[in-house]
Structure 1
Amino acid sequence: MSASSGHRSLFGEILDWMLAPLLVIWPISVALTWLVAQGIANKPYDRELGEMARTLGLQVATEPGPGDLPKGRSRYALAPEAAALLRADESDTIYYQVLGLRGELLSGDRHLAVPEREPPVVPWELHFRDDEVSNESVRVAFLWVVPEGMAGSDRMMLVQVAETLGKRSRLTNEIIKGVILPQFVILPLAVLLVWLALARGIAPLNELQRRIRSRDSSDLSPIDEHRIPDEVAPLVQAINDLLERLDQSIRAQKHFLADAAHQLKTPLAGLRTQAELAQREIDEGRSSPADLRRSLQQIALSSQRAAHMVNQLLAMARAEDQEHASRRSEVNLPTLAMETVRDFVPRAMEKRLDLGYEGPEPDHAGLRLNGHPLLIRELIRNLVDNALLYTPPGGTITVRVVEDPFGQVCVLQVEDSGPGIAESEREKVFQPFYRALGTDVDGSGLGLAIVREIVQQHEADISVDDTRARRQAEAEGQGPGARFTIRFPAHPHRD
């Protein structure tokens, strides 16, 4: 894995996690092997050493009286045959010691330490310990014996036989060599096998990477999930889900751009047509001030439509910008609603419409929204603009802010007395460039699409219904009107 790339290698990380425990366990295995080898090497030699000590103890217990001893031999000294048996080992030195009933040395080596006599002492019970004689490590077998004729006495003699550790060390080393040396061959072989196994296991990922890299940039079809490992299947499914959403987004953008180009083409074509017509009439000398004024008015109207379309497209882009929408602050909804109504009053008066506001005053210390002020202002403007477009002269438009008594939501309503929206079209009107059938209103078709996008950005919900019953409206010869209701999550006001 390259340090400069900053990327983590899955292969290297798995290999590290597999080999690191192995390298830690191996020294522990060597230490345990050494301990086990020592135990294995001690057993046969301890058995032999114990037999020597027991044989010497039997000889001491049955030692003949002073008159029966051969000439020149001290009491409790080993017979020549027994001494020859002890000295028969050429690789190790054997020591022995016999202590009397009072702890006095009767025979053998003085250098052997006397073990602690911890009650209760069981006669003829064999014990082992590690010790040193003349700075040399030895293994000692010892037991307390009761001489013949003294049964039941608590006075006993001590018999010890010690042996240096030469044979034991050699056997221990042979066992360790027999176990450890093969590991020096097995360990590199295990590392190689792990490497090959990982390379074989990672191969499907490399194949998946190759298939993805070989794709064309426009190919957003799902990745085949039948030739991938089960462990990678959730990742591939997530990628396929992302590709599907990306494909839908790209198709929507292409459709949006195509509709936008078509919508912009109409006012631009009108501009060109009116300009060419005015130019031709001027060239032919047939232009009058009235005709020229009419052409200029059409040019102004077409340019106004194009400018409005461009502004709506920019507003749509702002609404869809996740980063822009995430910059939120505390928003005073009544203030924004009143300012928007005030901005549209001249246009409403021009169309002879009654535009008003209902709700709390801007300085009302109630609930606030946690949102983006510019986007919420754009939302209210588009709803009011939509109502102004569809409400006939003499109608009424009301912008209303309703405060939830439970403090859970803030409600914004924009209602009009226009023709209303049929139930079958209430979902479609939020699609870009969609216009209700049977209407000849000159709009961009983006206003309500922008409204829905801003609503979604603020985790709110929007609903559409009639302002009044359709039967009553038809009886009065008026439209049922439309009421747009938006419920924002409330945000407690902080002074």
Structure 2
Amino acid sequence: MLAPLFLLWPMSVAITYVVAQHIADVPYDRSLANTVNLLAHQARVVDGKPALPMNDTLRQALRADETASLFWLVVDSQGRYVAGDRGLPLPKAASTVEPGVVRFDDDSLRGFAIRVAYTRVDPGTPADAQGPAGHLLTVLVAETGEKRAQLANEIIKGVIIPQFVVLPIAVLLVWFGLSRGVAPLNALQQRLRARRPDDLSPIDDRAAPTEIAPLVGAINDLLDRLSATVQTQRRFVADAAHQLKTPLAGLRTQAELALRDASADEMQASLRQLVTGSERATRLVNQLLLLAHAENPAAVGMTPIDLAEVAREHTTQWAPQALALRTDLGFEDPDGAVPIAGNPILLGELLNNLLDNALRYTPRGGRITVRVRRQGNYAVLDVEDSGPGIPLAERERVFDRFYRVLGTQADGSGLGLAIVREIAGKHDAVVRITDNTDSADSTDSAGSAGSAGPAADAGVASATPGTRFTVTFPLAPSLHKDTLLE
């Protein structure tokens, strides 16, 4: 803030000097013009020759004062001397000036800078009238620059000297104002520096100046978001550590049993339990890594993709598991592509977790259907099963990390649906859980028709409510425009 003042001051001095020179030239140029016009009016033709008779008024006008020297010269149209100071230089444009018009020029005489005023006049006519070109005289009056310099210096002193007084006062006032203004900022800086690294509490905006209240508010919003993120990570790490204790303890127990088992059969049983426990722990770790990847905004690269193609590809990959469980896994293909902006890898994991959840909770011989459709300006992914369903009171909690419905017999970590919601949120999608109303009807009709499908082979006797997971995505912009045009 102070540096610009010191930079502007030399600029102010330079501008003041130029303006002062101009102001000083104006009155003295006017005086020179009056003098040259007075000389021009005295020009005469005597005995056929141009002459300049002198009188008291003219002598008084041409008298030099104590400060500056005055010079004058009259020449004819051929440049021949008529009267005045022979050494006075003739301006280059003197022969082109209009009669009666006064022009000015800067030159030097005997090493001194001079200001020259000149005009042309016909000695047979008044100075402000044009006459025959053959008798035009050029009249010059020159003056040294002492008076002009003296006046310019007086003007500069009158402007600059007060600045020597005003500038230090202005600097002191600015410094004082800045010191008072930044004092709250310095105090805020000290408070922030004194904070512990884990202290993300909001800043007290009452101690901050009004001018930076929006900045403090934005910082507080950032601190709130950081605090929420840190709390989520801490809770996640604590939950993950707690969840990993059980499989790791089980692995150690099975390993110790295998070491103590005497018979080969007992050792084989312990080793099988060891393999099962390691698979469970591996799946839990993989899901933790996937969830961390989904939570990283920088890792989510969005590209235009066909939701139907992604769903079709990943549904096909689950066919062997469905056949092993004698589950009817179907895919309902939409009419045409369903483009959305998304990450194909994360969307594949979203569908994998929904299908894994459906296969775990659908009884053997049940039915699972994956459906992709368009609904207005949205793309909809449905995953339906004929499992036991999810109670209405539990449908929001099942998306919490490591949460599992009480009484659930199926194996799982409680992370699958949390991953589904996290990935859906990254795609501006919404996940809803409803009853699969088609589950009982399709099961009953399959049984009554004597179908040879898996459900009939399993002899499903009673209908289950089933579950439908519906994920609603916004359509890609291009498709959205086409829909509006239709």
Both proteins in one fold, TM over 0.5: yes
Equivalent of 1:340, from 318, 330, 339?
318
Match status 1:311 vs 2:282: no
Equivalent of 1:89, from 55, 65, 84?
65
Instruction: Report the secondary structure of 1:315's partner residue.
Output: helix
Match status 1:420 vs 2:389: yes
Contact 1:264–1:306 (8 Å) recurs in 2:
yes
Q: Equivalences for 1:260-271 in 2 at 5 Å?
A: 260-271=240-251
Alpha-carbon offset, residue 170 of structure 1? 3.2
Contact 1:142–1:161 (8 Å) recurs in 2:
no
Q: Cα deviations across residues 414-445 of structure 1 (Å, max 9, x unaligned)?
A: 21112222333322211111223454443211
2:320 aligned partner, one-letter code: R
Alpha-carbon offset, residue 34 of structure 1? 3.5
**Aligned residues between the structures:** 446
Name the CA distance, whole Å, in 1 between partners of 2:84 and 2:30.
21
Contact 1:340–1:377 (8 Å) recurs in 2:
no
Equivalent of 1:385, from 317, 342, 356?
356
1:419 aligned partner, one-letter code: P
The corresponding residue for 1:402 is 372
Alpha-carbon offset, residue 468 of structure 1? 0.5
Contact 2:117–2:141 (8 Å) recurs in 1:
yes
Change (3 A) 1:486 1:52: closer
Name the CA distance, whole Å, in 2 between partners of 1:91 and 1:289.
129
Instruction: Report the secondary structure of 1:226's partner residue.
Output: helix
Name the CA distance, whole Å, in 2 between partners of 1:117 and 1:336.
95
Alpha-carbon offset, residue 321 of structure 1? 3.7
Contact 2:439–2:465 (8 Å) recurs in 1:
yes
Q: Equivalences for 1:45-60 in 2 at 5 Å?
A: 45=28
Name the CA distance, whole Å, in 2 between partners of 1:98 and 1:288.
140
Name the CA distance, whole Å, in 2 between partners of 1:484 and 1:239.
39
Name the CA distance, whole Å, in 2 between partners of 1:76 and 1:330.
101
Change (3 A) 1:337 1:371: farther
The corresponding residue for 1:226 is 206
Match status 1:483 vs 2:483: no
Match status 1:320 vs 2:291: no
Alpha-carbon offset, residue 206 of structure 1? 3.6
Alpha-carbon offset, residue 391 of structure 1? 2.2
Contact 2:314–2:352 (8 Å) recurs in 1:
no
Q: Cα deviations across residues 32-76 of structure 1 (Å, max 9, x unaligned)?
A: 434443344345556766776788789x699xx9xxxxxxxxx97
Name the CA distance, whole Å, in 2 between partners of 1:231 and 1:194.
17
Contact 2:430–2:473 (8 Å) recurs in 1:
yes
Alpha-carbon offset, residue 216 of structure 1? 0.7
Alpha-carbon offset, residue 387 of structure 1? 1.5
Q: Cα deviations across residues 261-317 of structure 1 (Å, max 9, x unaligned)?
A: 33333344455566667888x6xxxx8888777766665554554344333323323
TM-score by length of 2: 0.69
Change (3 A) 1:171 1:402: closer
1:223 aligned partner, one-letter code: I
**What root-mean-square deviation, in Å, do the aligned CA atoms of Structure 1 and Structure 2 show?**
5.3
Contact 1:15–1:198 (8 Å) recurs in 2:
no
Match status 1:357 vs 2:342: no
Greater displacement, 192-201 / 455-464 = 192-201
The corresponding residue for 2:238 is 258
TM-score by length of 1: 0.68
Contact 1:382–1:451 (8 Å) recurs in 2:
yes
Greater displacement, 460-469 / 49-58 = 49-58
**Which segments of 5 or more consecutive residues in structure 1 lack a partner in the other structure?**
1-13, 66-74
Change (3 A) 1:374 1:342: farther
Instruction: Report the secondary structure of 1:89's partner residue.
Output: coil
